[in-house]
């Protein structure tokens, strides 16, 4: 073991700071680097000086021009107020339209009681719909638990039953 350490010491002396596997310039000896400098600061003072915060500039919002005859108001993508329903299953997501935008829709609450005297509650669900200048054709079944948003080539079905909401995408 001692013989091995003597050989490695002799190799280090012969090779110096460069070796067969080293890349770039050889490392400088420690004597050339100098002593580390101590940073003196008063207690409670920050290490780096604080820079003044940049002045806040209002940024104007870009609003696209409205087409002729259009009234300003909520668009297809504006979500209604409220929380999103947590129990949502999405089926056939590979069939979502390209360049689609999220839209929040209200559907019948799948957990609501089936008592006829209680008014039907609604829950909010987020779906992805294609960008279309015209609104979709909305079809709802008699009980209100199935809603279909038809955009021509693409269709989104929202079914609420059994305590969950199922969103299916079709093309």
Q: Kindly report the average pLDDT of the chain as a whole number.
A: 73
Residue 56 phi, psi (nearest 5): -75, 125
| pTM to 2 decimal places | 0.53
In tens, the pLDDT along 61-120 reads 555 555 554 444 444 444 456 789 999 999 999 999 999 999 999 999 998 877 767 777
Torsion (CA) 70, 72, 74, 76 in degrees, nearest 10: 30
Give dist(CA 156, CA 103) in Å, integer: 11
CB contact set of 121 (below 8 Å; sequence gap of 6+)? 108, 109, 112
Give dist(CA 114, CA 98) in Å, integer: 38
């Amino acid at each position: 073991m001692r013989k091995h350490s003597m050989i490695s010491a002799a190799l280090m002396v012969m090779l110096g700071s460069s070796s067969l596997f080293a890349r770039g310039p050889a490392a400088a000896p420690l004597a050339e680097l100098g002593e580390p400098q101590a940073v003196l600061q008063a207690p409670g003072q920050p290490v780096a000086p604080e820079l003044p915060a940049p002045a806040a500039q209002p940024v104007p919002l870009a609003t696209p021009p409205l087409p002729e005859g259009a009234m300003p108001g909520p668009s297809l993508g504006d979500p209604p107020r409220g929380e999103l329903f947590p129990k949502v299953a999405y089926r056939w997501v590979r069939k979502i339209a390209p360049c689609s935008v999220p839209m929040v829709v209200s559907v019948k609450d799948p957990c609501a009681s089936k008592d006829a005297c209680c008014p039907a509650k609604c829950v909010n669900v987020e779906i992805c719909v294609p960008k279309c200048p015209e609104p979709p054709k909305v079809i709802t079944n008699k009980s209100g638990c199935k809603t279909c948003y038809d955009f021509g080539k693409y269709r989104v079905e929202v079914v609420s039953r059994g305590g969950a909401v199922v969103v299916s995408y079709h093309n």
